[in-house]
Amino acid sequence: MKVSEPFTPKSASVNSRPEMDYYARAFFRNIGLLSRVEQERLRNSCVAIPGLGGVGSSMLIALARAGVGKFRIADYDAYDVANTNRQYGASSQTIGRRKVEVLAEMVTQINPETQIAIFPEPITDMNIDRFLSGANIVVDGLDFFMPDTRSLLYRKSREQGLYVVLTTHLGFSATLQVFSPRGISFDDYFNLRSQMKFEDKILAFIHGLAPKGLHRKYMNTNKLDYTRKRLPSLDAACHIATG
């Protein structure tokens, strides 16, 4: 499989007979909360999701079930046992498999019409323009401990006029920020500077996500491990972040 080519598994041909409008039947129950015009807009929209961890994978599946028709997904990692508590696609059957491939299969099983471009590689300044090409909006699913990649993502998204949705799990709850290409920049909001130490960038990110820090009342912050890049997480909080 070539990097960034549309993913089309064998199962994508299911229910593709001309007389059967699979999409209309699959997402009919959305109508009433969404108008038919809004549903068609989702069908023709493209969402870029860099990072397929707890929040990124949950957002991908939720948006697929909402009827979004096109995705660009990126993650260089394969499933590990430690992913099981919070990530879609993680199971005893998928350990060692690439996240982008497992989740692409799941999405096309939900909607065989879905067009997915997969990037099984890290997001860098060498590929980010290609990754964002054709996207209508970006959902930030990057790992918590990737401040420099995250700054790059927001800077490039801003240059291309794209909104970025930032939602993440934190304790038993979640946070939400939406960055407009015409509003305050990501680096300015979080007060991030290139010369800052890695730990200081992470602390600035956490404080910007939840300024009141209500999670500190019950979370064991000693479990925040900068070296191994780990923090406590729950699947329930990832679902709250998904909305």
Span 64-94, pLDDT tens digits: 999 999 999 999 999 999 999 999 999 999 9
CATH topology of domain 36-183+233-242: Rossmann fold (3.40.50)
- 166/176 Cα distance (integer angstroms): 6
- 58/63 Cα distance (integer angstroms): 9
Residue 192 pLDDT: 97
Residue 182 pLDDT: 97
- 172/169 Cα distance (integer angstroms): 7
Q: Is the dihedral of CA 126, 5, 76, 181 positive or negative?
A: positive
Break the chain into its structural domains and give their ranges.
Answer: 36-183+233-242
Q: How confident is the model at residue 226 (pLDDT cuts 50, 70, 90)?
A: confident
Span 94-142, pLDDT tens digits: 999 999 999 999 999 999 999 999 999 999 999 999 999 999 999 999 9
Span 19-73, pLDDT tens digits: 458 999 999 999 999 999 999 999 999 999 999 999 999 999 999 999 999 999 9
Structure token digits, residue 234: 């729950």
- Which position has the higher pLDDT, 48 or 7? 48
Residue 4 pLDDT: 55
